[in-house]
Amino acid sequence: MPEIKAIFFDQDGVIIDTEKDGHRVAFNKAFEAFGYDFAWDVDKYHDLLRVSGGKERMRAYFKEEGLFADMSEEDLGEHIKNLHKTKTGLFIKLIESGALPLRSGIRRFMEEGVAAGLTLGVCTTANERSANAIAKGMLGDIPFNFVLAGDVVSKKKPDPEIYLMALEKTGLAPENCLVIEDSRVGVLAAKAAGMNVVATTNVYTENEDLDDADIIVSCLGDTDGEKGTLKKGDPKLQHDGVLRVEQLVAYFA
Which one is catalytic: 10, 182, 214, 222? 10
Which one is catalytic: 12, 17, 182, 214? 12
Residue 23, helix vs strand vs coil = helix
Helices 24-33 and 73-96 sit at what angle, rounded to 10 degrees?
Answer: 120
Task: Respond yes or no: is residue 12 known to be catalytic.
Answer: yes
Residue 43 belongs to what H/E stretch? helix 42-48
Task: Respond yes or no: is residue 209 known to be catalytic.
Answer: no
Closest by alpha carbon to 52, among 124, 136, 152, 101?
Answer: 124
| Residue-range domains of the chain with CATH | 6-17+101-252 (3.40.50.1000), 19-96 (1.10.150.240)
Closest by alpha carbon to 163, among 146, 143, 139?
Answer: 146
Query: What is the full per-residue pLDDT of the chain (253 aa) written as tens digits?
Result: 579 999 999 999 999 988 888 999 999 999 999 999 999 999 999 999 889 889 999 999 999 999 999 999 999 999 999 999 999 999 989 988 878 889 999 999 999 999 999 999 999 988 888 899 899 999 999 999 999 998 899 999 999 999 999 999 999 999 999 999 999 999 999 999 999 999 999 988 988 999 999 999 999 999 999 999 999 999 888 779 999 999 999 999 9
Q: What is the pLDDT of residues 70-112, one digit of tens each?
A: 999 999 999 999 999 999 999 989 988 878 889 999 999 999 9
How long, in residues, is the chain?
A: 253
Helix then strand then coil, % of the chain, to nearest 5: 45, 10, 40
pTM: 0.84
Strands 230-232 and 215-217: antiparallel
End-to-end CA distance of the chain: 6
